[in-house]
Structure 1
């Protein structure tokens, strides 16, 4: 009795007594249907017509088989298709609650470190053209007693014995030209701002002391924006002086001391809403503004720039000036929408309670 051969691609009937080793011509592989092409995994021939696919002759000779092949599982795929990789587990962490953030918040008393300052080429050119008076060139940090006016000296008047000390200073002025930073009295040039600030004086003499002078403290127009990984605080000040300005920060507090054209000083201390990575934060200075880029300690969105209880701190009694497009350093009123000191919610409260007083540091 003739039997049906179940080898793929054969389908003929055969006599078991005359079943030789080369009697059957079949496909040992599996059918493949990919991108409208049809074929067998054991052959290279492909076609788009299903009838032609069924008529493709076998590629291997062997015995006829009367055993019916097992039905393929519905989950099995053809051999030439890539096996699906196990799905990776993605864990999405939601925003932390305000209570948890306060518990994990670092102390605001951590040491503050100076942020590196990047000076733009346009600001260097503006400072070169700026004809500063002797008083403008000798701005120094205020301190008790008397201040010295010698650039690069670092001495502070402690009493009559300070007059006997030898003063090492720079008689010239700072120069910023084509990316180089140096003193007009020296030939030592550097591209690194920190190295420029640490250059020792080139002349020796006696200290020149002067009584501490009041500086014109002003409130500058400010703004801020954020991305997923950064917060950028902008202070609009015309021609900031990088050699005399400084910005310090720890993980939760930002302290800015910006001196700019016209013997004006802007100083602010902000307790930040979130935490930052101080090592990756920096300051950029251009002729019209100072941008403080704070890298967030962890990605996410800040609800506001600073904590509600934080207030703007200014050096001395700030002078109110009318804002103008000609001088970005001009100051707006204390209730300006651009102020960093209060959020929109607090602005609504001001309408009922009045404008909050500015906090001034004690002398």
Structure 2
């Protein structure tokens, strides 16, 4: 009775009574499939064709075998193929619900931090061309060349304020070829934060200016988001970095932008989500101010601000600002465009509403 030989590469039938030491020609090794090449570990011959691989003759002579070879425990132990790495289980946590986010929301009363400002080269060039005279410095109450951001003490609180010594810069801020400095003392730096912290170089009496000198306006705004960031854009021509500021804590954003034409834009809103203040920053270019807020956790925000948040252009215009928000909800696209143009030009709301 003829039996089937189970030696690899043989597959012939043989008579056990005539099974000699050189009857079988087989491969003692194992099949190898690596980089599109196929072959046996006991031979050097390799091919890319599978049919040709099956027809490779054995390289060793021996007895035919009727025993099935045991299945290899792991092909990587006997072949040139790299061992497969164990698959790690990846657990993905879905986004938190709005209710849970509100419960875990930090207090809006946390201290607000001044966000770092990046000034583009094009804005520095534009500011060089502007007449940086005292009438271009819109200060709530200030000394010549001195902004409230630099000390926070230049606020008139009565006749006793006149006895205080004022430390100030009599010159103007200069932005030239990447350098930032005051024209009166010439201490140059490339870092905007270091420029803002430079102490005044002169001492004298306070020179108060009236609040009515401010020209508060509404600016066109926009926002977009990625999975990790929210970018708020305020369209203001030639913003003045030395006189503007953006502050934030984990849930509140406060913007104070002074720009060309003796104009001030102010806004305060409570954010829909939470942010990482340390990783957030402000970028200023000639046409706009971009506030990049780093999300505390990746995900999508349903809106920029909470429904109860208040947006204001100035303390005197809170009512007008809320009216704008209500108007936009009930206007057609064409009317909304007219409202945006009206806001960007600083026109009174009655020009659109007929009030």
TM-score (norm 2): 0.78
Give RMSD over aligned pairs: 3.8
Distance 1:241 1:73, change over 3 A: same
Q: Which moved more, 1:250-259 or 1:309-318?
A: 309-318
* 1:80 positional shift: 3.7
How many residues are treated as equivalent by the alignment?
326
* 1:25 positional shift: 5.2
What is the CA deviation profile of residues 92-136 of structure 1, one whole-angstrom value per residue up to 9, with x for unaligned ones? Answer: 322221111111111111111010111111111111111144222
* 1:203 positional shift: 2.2
Distance 1:348 1:260, change over 3 A: same
Look up the match of 1:180.
179
* 1:213 positional shift: 3.6
Q: Which moved more, 1:168-177 or 1:208-217?
A: 208-217
* 1:312 positional shift: 0.9
Distance 1:228 1:110, change over 3 A: same
1:155-194 matches, within 5 Å, as 155-156=153-154, 157-194=156-193
Distance 1:282 1:92, change over 3 A: same
Question: Does residue 44 of structure 1 match 2:39?
Answer: no
Contact 1:180 1:189 (C-alpha < 8 Å) held by counterparts: yes
Question: Does residue 151 of structure 1 match 2:179?
Answer: no
What is the CA deviation profile of residues 258-316 of structure 1, one whole-angstrom value per residue up to 9, with x for unaligned ones? Answer: 11111111111111111111111111111111111111111111111111111212214
State the distance in 1 between where 2:80 and 2:99 align: 55
Distance 1:3 1:227, change over 3 A: closer
Look up the match of 1:244.
243
Contact 1:46 1:53 (C-alpha < 8 Å) held by counterparts: no
Contact 2:167 2:202 (C-alpha < 8 Å) held by counterparts: yes
Contact 1:225 1:231 (C-alpha < 8 Å) held by counterparts: yes
Look up the match of 1:127.
127
Question: Does residue 90 of structure 1 match 2:90?
Answer: yes
Distance 1:220 1:70, change over 3 A: same
* 1:64 positional shift: 2.5
Contact 1:282 1:293 (C-alpha < 8 Å) held by counterparts: yes
Structure 2 residues without counterparts, runs of 5 or longer: 333-338, 340-348, 350-355
Q: Which moved more, 1:278-287 or 1:305-314?
A: 305-314
* 1:255 positional shift: 0.5
Look up the match of 1:328.
none
Distance 1:72 1:311, change over 3 A: same
Look up the match of 1:222.
221
1:299-318 matches, within 5 Å, as 299-318=298-317
What is the CA deviation profile of residues 17-68 of structure 1, one whole-angstrom value per residue up to 9, with x for unaligned ones? Answer: 9966x8865321123466875432221212437367435231x46x525451
Distance 1:97 1:65, change over 3 A: same
Q: Of Structure 1 and Structure 2, which has the larger fraction of its residues in helix?
A: 2
What is the CA deviation profile of residues 151-184 of structure 1, one whole-angstrom value per residue up to 9, with x for unaligned ones? Answer: 2684534555544444332111110111110011
State the distance in 1 between where 2:167 and 2:40 align: 89
Distance 1:72 1:314, change over 3 A: same
Distance 1:86 1:52, change over 3 A: closer
Look up the match of 1:294.
293
